[in-house]
């Protein structure tokens, strides 16, 4: 029994073809939106790519960009097909193209759904990428004279000021690394030398943070150093001196909000494309049944699947199974044809040699 069987008159088939022509052109616009969303996400990721690890999330915007371009091409071609399918004579030109077109549209629609799911399922990978990238950026914060790292200090400072954050997971992350370059340390000072000797790796560690961690809402001058003393502990409790949130969480919230908005938009586009795909399938089956009946004026049935889901799956499985049997040796029609033995061919070869000599 057919799944989703609907009967169409000639007027209804023509009206369906016109509606699908319009929907395909709207799909071209939605494809442009997908392309634009992918570009927007690519630019947003590129802004802070220096504080992300190499295991980035660039495949998501690339997926959206590719899918958007495919949507524009497929739906532009589909609009022409649907418009011609209103006429039985013109449908004959596209009859062999309809099924490959529907398969390509189904694959493209699945890619749109995959893009939407990626936007919602990438949070954990993004969290790991930000943690590792921020850790490395803070480690090289002081290397302003090293090629390839000279802009990291500026990037981290802009990040902490713009997102009102400090450190990777918190301001205390700065206590564990040397973020002041050795060029600015007074190596003649005994206090500096003793601090570096007290560290196993010979680093100059201190309970201080860069200026970009200072809160702009603080009513008093920012206290950046000696943050572990009791006098500054009371001021820190007021949460006005330094930014309390870590930059990993700040960037994660920023990208999560963008991803959720883009994911919702892509999901709506997927539902719209699924509607277009369903309509094209109805139009294809209805027009093919008109050709079988031989009367363009008669009513015809259209459906999504000609048989039930179980029967369709069984039929496709049998087709694949039979294709595999075509390459088996047992089915070779020449398998039982006798061939001459090598010993029997030898005398004839000798005779030929004697004659030629």
The DSSP annotation for 196-217 comes to HHTSTT-----S---GGGB-TT
Q: What is the reported pLDDT for 356?
A: 40
Residues 47 and 117 in one domain: yes
Burial class (CB in 10 A: 0-12, 13-18, 19+), 329: exposed
Question: Quick one: 274 and 189 in the same domain?
Answer: no
SS3 301: strand
What pLDDT is attached to residue 67?
Answer: 93
At residue 198, the pLDDT reads: 76
Angle in degrees, 0-180, between the axes of helices 247-293 and 123-139, rounded to the nearest 10: 150
Residue 234 counted as domain residue: no
| Pair (214, 259) in one structural domain | no
Q: Give, for 7, the enclosing helix (H) or strand (E).
A: strand 6-8
Tell whether 89 and 9 lie within a shared domain: yes
Q: Is the Cα dihedral 42, 138, 127, 147 positive or negative?
A: positive
Give the C-alpha separation, 160 to 32, whole Å.
Answer: 34
8 A C-beta contact, residue 44 and residue 57: no
Kindly tell me the sign of the dihedral angle through the C-alpha atoms of 108, 110, 111, 115.
positive
CA–CA gap between residue 222 and residue 330 (Å, rounded): 86
Does 197 lie in the same domain as 132?
Answer: no
Which pair of tokens denotes residue 356? 């030629």
**What is the distance between the alpha carbons of residues 158 and 181, in angstroms, rounded to a whole number?**
19
Query: Whole-angstrom Cα distance, residue 157 to residue 50?
Result: 12
The SS3 call for residue 137 is: helix
Domain assignment of residue 88, yes or no: yes
Long-range contact pairs involving 29-33 (C-beta distance under 8 Å, separation at least 24): 30/71, 30/269, 30/272, 30/273, 31/67, 31/68, 31/69, 31/70, 31/71, 31/72, 31/75, 32/68, 32/72, 33/68, 33/265, 33/269
Q: For the chain, what is the radius of gyration of the CA atoms?
A: 35
172 close to 245: Cβ distance less than 8 angstroms: no
Positions in the chain whose pLDDT score sits under 50: 230, 232, 235-238, 327, 329, 332, 335, 341-357
- 242 is written with which tokens? 């330094």
**119 and 157 share a domain?**
no
Q: Are residues 199 and 279 in the same domain?
A: no
Does residue 314 lie within any of the structural domains?
Answer: no
Same structural domain, 218 and 267: no
Return the beta strands (E) in 209-273 as ranges.
Answer: none
* Pair 55, 203 in one domain: no
Query: Containing domain of residue 180, as a range?
Result: 146-227+242-247
**How many domains are there within the chain?**
2
Backbone angles phi, psi at 142, to 5 degrees: -85, -15
260 in any annotated domain: yes
For residue 348, count other CB atoms closer than 10 A to its CB: 10
116 falls within a domain: yes
Domain co-membership, 9 together with 69: yes
Residue 81 lies in a domain: yes
Q: For residue 275, what is the enclosing H or E element?
A: helix 247-293
Rounded to two decimals, the pTM is: 0.77
Residue 162's nearest CA partner among 316, 80, 47 is 47
Residues 21 and 128 in one domain: yes
Q: For residue 341, what are its two tokens? A: 């033995």
pLDDT tens-digit map of 253-299: 999 999 999 999 999 999 999 999 999 988 888 888 888 888 888 88
**Chain centroid, CA 223 distance in Å:** 44
213 and 152 inside one domain: yes
328, part of any domain: no
């Amino acid at each position: 029994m057919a799944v989703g069987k609907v009967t169409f008159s000639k007027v209804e088939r023509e009206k369906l073809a016109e509606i699908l022509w319009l929907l395909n052109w709207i799909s071209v616009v939605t494809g442009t939106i997908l392309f634009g969303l992918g570009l927007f996400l690519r630019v947003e990721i590129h802004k802070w790519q220096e504080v992300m690890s190499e295991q980035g999330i660039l495949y998501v915007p690339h997926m959206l960009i590719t899918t958007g371009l495919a949507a524009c091409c497929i739906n532009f071609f589909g609009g022409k097909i649907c418009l011609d399918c209103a006429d039985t004579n013109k449908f004959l030109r596209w009859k062999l193209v309809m099924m490959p077109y529907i398969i390509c549209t189904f694959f493209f629609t699945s890619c749109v759904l995959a893009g939407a799911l990626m936007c919602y399922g990438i949070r954990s990978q993004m969290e790991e990428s930000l943690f590792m990238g921020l850790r490395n950026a803070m480690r090289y914060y002081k290397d302003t004279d090293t090629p390839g790292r000279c802009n990291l200090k500026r990037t981290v400072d802009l990040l902490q000021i713009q997102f009102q954050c400090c450190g990777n997971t918190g301001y205390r992350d700065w206590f564990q690394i040397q973020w002041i370059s050795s060029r600015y340390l007074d190596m003649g000072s005994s206090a500096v030398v003793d601090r570096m000797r007290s560290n196993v790796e010979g680093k100059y560690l201190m309970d201080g943070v860069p200026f970009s961690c200072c809160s702009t809402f603080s009513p008093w001058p920012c206290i950046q150093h000696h943050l572990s003393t009791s006098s500054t502990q009371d001021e820190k409790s007021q949460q006005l001196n330094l930014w309390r949130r870590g930059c990993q969480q700040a960037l994660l919230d920023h990208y999560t909000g963008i991803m959720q908005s883009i994911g919702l938009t892509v999901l709506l586009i997927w539902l719209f494309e699924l509607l277009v795909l369903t309509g094209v399938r109805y139009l294809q089956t209805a027009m093919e049944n008109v050709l079988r009946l031989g009367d363009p004026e008669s009513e015809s049935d259209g459906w999504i699947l000609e048989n039930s889901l179980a029967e369709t799956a069984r039929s496709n499985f049998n087709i694949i199974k039979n294709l595999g049997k075509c390459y088996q040796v047992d089915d070779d029609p020449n398998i039982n044809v006798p061939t001459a033995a090598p010993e029997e061919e030898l005398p004839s070869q000798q005779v030929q040699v004697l004659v030629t000599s």
